[in-house]
Structure 1
Amino acid sequence: MNRTRIAGLFLLLPVLFGAAFPAIKLGLDYVPPLLFAAGRYLLSAGLLLGFAAMTTDAWLPRTRGDWVAVLGAGVFFVGGTGLLYLGQQYTTSGVAAIIYSLIPILTPLVAWGLLPHERFSRRYLLGLFVGFVGVALVIRPEPTNLLGESVVGEGLVLLAATSVTLGSVLVRRYRSTMSVVALTGWAMIPGALIQLAFSAALGESLAAVRPTATAALLLLYLAVFASGVGFAVYFYLLERLGPLQVNLISYLIPVVAVTVGWLFLDEPITALTLAGFAVIVVGFALLRADDLVPMARRRLRNRRRPAA
């Protein structure tokens, strides 16, 4: 039963996270991007901190490491996602999700210098190069149109993915004594405040918000399911499967995002976009071959082992 539960949650998580990209895209018709992001994270922060307060004693930041982790994750991991909302004004939800799938490849690169034990190998550099080739195929910048709306939007999404990666690395560097759920909830508060500050600087106004039932449902989905339930499921799987296997979910998320965007938003799916995504996956496989091959062998041995 436990294996069935874990398998079901493993399939549920990319659905929750993948559908978030089309939900953001659709929500931008009703709410300015940074106001939309801030509203999502403030609501989700309340849910996660309430859950943490009921389930653990380690939910308040106490040490210097706690506060540094909260600020690092808040500024970069949460605050940086505002760039995703800005970028999705000019690109499809499927393309945004594919660019975000570069995060597992970016992580060792961003960690270099911040985490002393991180080292580059030739295969890593090859995987990094292949991953960026995949992103180039997705974005397809043209020399005559480098400042076109779609290229700028996709560039903002790539910056968001880099910022999220930096936030996750800072959390690893400055170890927190809090539960991860509590840390995420606390980080959402400064992240949302940063998004509100930039929202004001860009001239976003509450007068531009269209308070419809659709807008409310999209906000609830993002705050409750994509963030609240999604993070809880993510942390549950992280404890039981480890980071490598959970990171494989990153490559199911774009499949969901592209499919939902095509079904409900009439977003086109081009062969070159799919080819770019496949190249990114190859880059990740090159990067983590030392981990993936032994893991595949263990799973194969377990399947061949006769039942007791």
Structure 2
Amino acid sequence: MRITSRFAKEPILTNLKNNSLILVAMLAFAANSMLCRMAMSVADMEPGDFTVVRLLSGTLMLILLGSVKQKSWRNKEGSWLGAFCLFIYAAAFSFAYQGMTTGTGALLLFGAVQITMLLVSYFRGERFNKPQLLGFNLAVGGLLILLLPGASSPDPLSAALMVSAGVAWGAYTLLGKGTSKPLQLSAGNFLRSLIFVLPLFFILDTGLSIDFADSGFVYAVLSGAIASGAGYAIWYSVLPSLSGPQAATIQLSVPVLAMVMGWLALSEAITMQMVAAGGITMGGIFLVIRAR
């Protein structure tokens, strides 16, 4: 008797290479949260400086990888919209982490990512049924619980910045869904994003002050070159093999990974409020995705 699995046609479960790349991408996403928090809390690095080093090192890494793969650097991929979304995400992400823990930030970030992607689907004509509507309300409720007064609750400005970062990252993900050149597209977006860095300093009336021997600089380079540059290219490379619900579901693992990383690297507490908010938010979003 031949036994077949209902998952046999799912690339994410049968393709070992894709599974490995997806795992690496999720670890990279979580590592970004940890490295940013380490730069802020351990090395006392300014968020603007972290953003600049992160985007610049990510750009250089992607250009290097692209040059090795293509033997020369000729890249016409990327878009100004993708670059703007990347910049908004990176800048808001850095400034938001001044006022919250690793796990709390990741939960807010990816909660906003999933809600953004679900809303885009809704406005494209995909109406919610009753289980989906229940799940959406649970997801929003979980985020509200996270923002209630408590030991790990972020301040309102930091929370608003992280939600903005999540919306921008959701848009950035959607823009890369159909790419056939993930490395080149990522490099083009990163390179263009540097144009938006200068206005940031004029708006904030601050200067760029980077100590290349400081640990914060090392954290920012690791975040930009490895966790962002290489990590985002890997994520773009597996996106075409995933459906929208699969891509959304997979990213729900990031807040959990980030909470564990923050606990291990920074001794950050994992409170019952965070566990409850995370469970409700992720459960609600999973219900929406599962019911599609």
Measured against the shorter chain, the TM-score band is 0.7 to 0.9
Where in structure 1 are there 5+ consecutive unaligned residues? Answer: 143-147, 292-308
CA distance in 2, matches of 1:213, 1:104: 35
* Segment drifting more, 94-103 vs 217-226: 217-226
> What displacement does 1:12 show?
2.9
CA distance in 1, matches of 2:63, 2:171: 23
Match of residue 31, structure 2, among 8, 11, 19? 19
Deviations 1:205-235 (A, max 9, x none): 234x343342232122112220133123323
Written as runs of structure 1 = structure 2, the 5 A alignment for 1:110-259 is 110=120, 112-113=122-123, 116-140=124-148, 150-169=155-174, 179-207=181-209, 209-259=210-260
How many pairs were matched up? Answer: 273
Contact kept? 2:63, 2:187, Cα under 8 Å = yes
> What displacement does 1:133 show?
0.7
CA distance in 2, matches of 1:271, 1:202: 37
> What displacement does 1:70 show?
1.1
Identity among equivalent positions (%) equals: 19
Report the AA paired with residue 160 of structure 1.
Answer: A
* Segment drifting more, 49-58 vs 78-87: 49-58
> What displacement does 1:4 show?
4.2
CA distance in 2, matches of 1:119, 1:192: 38
CA distance in 2, matches of 1:272, 1:284: 18
RMSD over aligned CA atoms reads 2.9
Where in structure 2 are there 5+ consecutive unaligned residues? Answer: 1-13
> What displacement does 1:71 show?
1.2
> What displacement does 1:88 show?
0.5
* Segment drifting more, 72-81 vs 254-263: 72-81
Deviations 1:54-84 (A, max 9, x none): 44699633xxxx6xx6111111233333111
CA distance in 1, matches of 2:115, 2:267: 30
Report the AA paired with residue 166 of structure 1.
Answer: A
> What displacement does 1:250 show?
1.4
From the superposition, tell whether residues 216 and 38 of structure 1 become closer, same or farther in structure 2 (CA, over 3 Å): closer
* Segment drifting more, 270-279 vs 70-79: 70-79
| Residue number in structure 1 paired with 2:103 | 94
> What displacement does 1:194 show?
1.8
Deviations 1:232-276 (A, max 9, x none): 332343344444334333122112211121122122211111111
CA distance in 2, matches of 1:106, 1:40: 24
Contact kept? 1:49, 1:59, Cα under 8 Å = no
> What displacement does 1:124 show?
3.3
TM-score, normalised to structure 1, is 0.77
From the superposition, tell whether residues 192 and 180 of structure 1 become closer, same or farther in structure 2 (CA, over 3 Å): same
| Residue number in structure 1 paired with 2:115 | 105
| Residue number in structure 2 paired with 1:270 | 271
Contact kept? 2:79, 2:188, Cα under 8 Å = yes
* Segment drifting more, 240-249 vs 93-102: 240-249
Residue 46 of structure 1 pairs with residue 46 of structure 2: no
From the superposition, tell whether residues 229 and 184 of structure 1 become closer, same or farther in structure 2 (CA, over 3 Å): closer
CA distance in 2, matches of 1:46, 1:6: 25
From the superposition, tell whether residues 198 and 58 of structure 1 become closer, same or farther in structure 2 (CA, over 3 Å): closer
Contact kept? 2:48, 2:94, Cα under 8 Å = yes
